[in-house]
């Protein structure tokens, strides 16, 4: 039982639930209702979507494992009480699970791509797997590039669902159709939200892990630029997020979705302002950990806003 608990901690099962929930809501609260409103059906059947979701989750889980594998020296300093590798699970078994999950994720991706007749889409998971490997071995220890890579992968977990929709991949005419444009706009906004909020969280995590990162020779933003510039970058990102949400609210107001505006204001915008205030006051690792948890909560409330498309479309 202890071994299984350690394994689920190693693969960050709450984050995997986030990924699966995001893709589920996007497929069945956004893509399907948009298509149904025009009398069309989603390109992916339920079994195909489940396989795609599992593919993404497996690749992400493999990424978390390899990240911990190469971060042992950092974790000894930053979070010794939370370590799993070398305490419960050996490095050899961790690498074995990394390989198994990666192969399973990539294989399922190619199966779905083959079933939809777009085999090249299977390489999406290959690219993600490679980026996660290089992030753990190299990118993470470099200023900005590691943050950008992880944020892009977070956004890609949203966009990948759209990749498999024929209104997007079939032809230029399909993309420019009313349905195609609507899907791209909605998916694009959520991908942008995922990218920005993930960038904020990654920088805050770098602030939290500064001591261990510096001892391991990492050149993260807080270490190279300093704490205050790192915070200012987060402020700029939060401002960009607020502007994006306001533009979305204007669009939603024109549609008459007043409940959605209230939801965004209370559960996304105001928490972002609170995050700004808490980040401004943060000085210790515990403070930054609290901010990181708040950012993760806003990620969840932002994702759950997809439900309004199911209610109103």
Taking the C-alpha atoms of residue 183 and residue 66, their distance in angstroms, rounded to an integer, is 34
Q: Where are the domains of the chain?
A: 2-312
Q: Which residues of the chain have pLDDT under 70?
A: 1, 169-172, 174
What tens digit of pLDDT does each residue of 108-148 get?
Answer: 999 999 998 889 999 999 999 999 999 998 888 888 899 99
Helices (H), 116-226: 123-137, 145-163, 166-169, 172-176, 178-208, 210-215, 221-225
Q: Which residues of 243-274 are buried (b: 16+ CB within 10 A; e: fewer)?
A: eebeebbeebeeeebeebbebbeebbbebbee
Q: Which residue has the tokens 């078994």?
A: 93
Taking the C-alpha atoms of residue 286 and residue 31, their distance in angstroms, rounded to an integer, is 40
pLDDT value of position 293: 95
pLDDT value of position 212: 82
Question: Which structure tokens are listed for 294?
Answer: 């708040």
pLDDT value of position 11: 92
Question: Which structure tokens are listed for 71?
Answer: 């971060």
Taking the C-alpha atoms of residue 55 and residue 77, their distance in angstroms, rounded to an integer, is 33
pLDDT value of position 123: 94
pLDDT value of position 303: 94
pLDDT value of position 172: 63
What tens digit of pLDDT does each residue of 137-194 get?
Answer: 888 888 889 999 999 999 999 999 988 887 776 666 767 778 878 888 999 999 999 9
DSSP state of 12: T
Q: Which residue has the tokens 């993404």?
A: 56
pLDDT value of position 218: 83
pLDDT value of position 174: 65
The pTM of the full predicted model, rounded to 2 decimals, is 0.93
């Amino acid at each position: 039982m202890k071994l299984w608990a350690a394994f689920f901690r190693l693969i960050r099962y709450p984050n995997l639930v986030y990924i699966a929930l995001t893709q589920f809501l996007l497929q069945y609260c956004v893509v399907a209702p948009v298509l149904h409103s025009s009398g069309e059906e989603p390109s992916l059947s339920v079994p195909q979507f489940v396989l795609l979701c599992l593919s993404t989750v497996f690749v992400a889980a493999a990424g978390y494992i390899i990240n911990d594998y190469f971060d042992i020296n950092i974790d000894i300093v930053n979070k010794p009480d939370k370590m799993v590798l070398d305490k419960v699970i050996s490095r050899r078994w961790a690498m074995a699970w990394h390989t198994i999950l990666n192969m399973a994720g990539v294989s399922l991706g190619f199966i779905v791509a083959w079933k939809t007749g777009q085999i090249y889409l299977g390489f999406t998971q290959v690219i993600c797997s490679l980026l996660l490997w290089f992030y753990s071995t190299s990118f993470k220890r470099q200023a900005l590039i590691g943050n950008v890579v992880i944020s892009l992968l977070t956004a890609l977990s949203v966009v990948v669902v759209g990749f498999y929709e024929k209104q997007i991949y079939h032809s230029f005419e399909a993309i420019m159709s009313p349905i195609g444009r609507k899907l791209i706009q909605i998916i694009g906004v959520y991908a942008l939200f995922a990218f920005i909020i993930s960038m904020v969280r990654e920088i805050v995590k770098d602030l939290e892990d500064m001591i261990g990162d510096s001892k391991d020779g990492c050149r993260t933003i807080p270490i190279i630029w300093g704490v205050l510039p790192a915070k200012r970058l987060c402020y700029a990102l939060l401002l960009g997020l607020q502007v994006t949400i306001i533009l979305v609210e204007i669009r939603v107001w024109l549609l008459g979705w007043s409940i959605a505006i209230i939801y965004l204001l209370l559960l996304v915008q105001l928490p972002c302002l609170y995050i700004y205030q808490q980040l401004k006051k943060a000085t210790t690792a515990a403070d930054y950990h609290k901010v990181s948890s708040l950012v993760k909560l806003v990620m969840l409330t932002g994702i759950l806003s997809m439900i309004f498309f199911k209610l109103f479309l």
